[in-house]
């Protein structure tokens, strides 16, 4: 066991020694917590993010825990992803793990009040982005005969939150992408799973109205928001060799909100 880098209690060690992981949106929130946990488990971590200042802060902190590199990547742009994939391979020689964590909410409003460009941007980042990253990374995993892909969906993708049609639809699509890709790769030792967290109190809350935040909390039987280190624990197990016979699965982490 080791002490959680975020200052929490001791947690179980998952062996990721020798593994190279890419985490999108890894400069903050759940992605940053997953990076901490993976580094503590022996992995080399590559962070892809769009925010240079946040990436610099994350790199300074994570660099104390292990081998980490980072790139500015626009996840809706094929050329940007291709360049970042090439850079990761040049630095580290392979890619074993991909965590599609980056996402945006696009604010809260009724469907007919949301501007089309806002709706499209949410779907582009939250769904098209993971498609493009998988498209770039999966062939590299197939070359080595090993891979673990973890997609960060949302309970909204199961339930459909009101005033968040764009976000809910994008996360439902990510669940579908997970299931389809997993079946395509089922005999390749490249496993694809997703988690459906309830809300965690991260910077993404800054994009939401307070009434929407209150609504989300009211739906969680445990009456609290998810802690990012709790999500990281599930992500790291799914990214490990210990996860060997689960693929195309949706792992709930919603404090009792989901009943299926």
pLDDT 10s digits, 62-71: 999 999 999 9
Residue 258 lies inside a defined structural domain of this protein: no
Q: State how far the Cα of 253 lies from the Cα of 239, in Å rounded to an integer.
A: 16
DSSP assignment of 72-92: E--TT-HHHHHHHHHHHHHHH
Number of domains in the chain: 1
Active site residue 131: no
Residue 255 lies inside a defined structural domain of this protein: no
Residue 177 lies inside a defined structural domain of this protein: yes
Residue 15 lies inside a defined structural domain of this protein: yes
DSSP assignment of 222-258: T-SPBPHHHHHHHHHHHTSTT--S--S-EEEESTT--
Residue 134 lies inside a defined structural domain of this protein: yes
User: By residue range, what is the domain housing residue 74?
Assistant: 2-250
CATH number at residue 96: 3.40.50.720
The mean-pLDDT minimum among 5-14, 53-62, 204-213, 229-238 falls in: 5-14
Residue 12 lies inside a defined structural domain of this protein: yes
Residue 76 lies inside a defined structural domain of this protein: yes
Residue 256 lies inside a defined structural domain of this protein: no
- Block residue for tokens 């989300």: 216
* Per-residue pLDDT reduced to its tens digit, 16-41: 999 999 999 999 999 999 999 999 99
∠ CA 135-200-204, nearest 5°, is: 70
Predicted model pTM:
0.93
Name the catalytic one among 131, 146, 167, 260: 167
């Amino acid at each position: 066991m080791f002490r959680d880098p975020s200052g929490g209690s001791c947690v179980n060690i998952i062996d990721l020694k020798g593994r190279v992981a890419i985490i999108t949106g890894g400069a903050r929130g759940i992605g940053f917590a997953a990076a901490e946990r993976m580094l503590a488990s022996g992995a080399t971590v590559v962070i892809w993010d769009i925010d240079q200042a946040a990436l610099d802060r994350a790199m300074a902190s994570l660099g104390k825990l292990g081998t980490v590199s980072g790139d500015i990547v626009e996840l809706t742009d094929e050329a940007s992803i291709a360049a970042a994939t090439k850079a990761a391979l040049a630095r580290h020689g392979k890619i074993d793990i991909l965590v599609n964590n980056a996402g945006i909410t696009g604010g809260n409003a009724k469907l007919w009040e949301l501007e089309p460009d806002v709706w499209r941007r949410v779907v582009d980042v939250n769904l098209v982005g993971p498609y493009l990253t998988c498209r770039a990374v999966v062939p590299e995993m197939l070359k080595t005969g090993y891979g673990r892909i973890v997609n960060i969906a949302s309970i909204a993708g199961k339930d459909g939150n009101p005033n968040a049609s764009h976000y809910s639809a994008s996360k439902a699509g990510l669940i579908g992408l997970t299931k389809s890709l997993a079946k395509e790769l089922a005999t390749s030792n490249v496993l694809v799973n997703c988690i459906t967290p309830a809300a965690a109190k991260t910077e993404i809350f800054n994009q939401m109205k307070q009434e929407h935040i209150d609504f989300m909390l009211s739906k969680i039987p445990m009456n609290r928001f998810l802690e990012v280190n709790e999500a990281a624990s599930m992500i790291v197990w799914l990214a490990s060799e210990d996860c060997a016979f689960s693929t195309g699965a949706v792992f709930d982490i919603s404090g009792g909100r989901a009943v299926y």
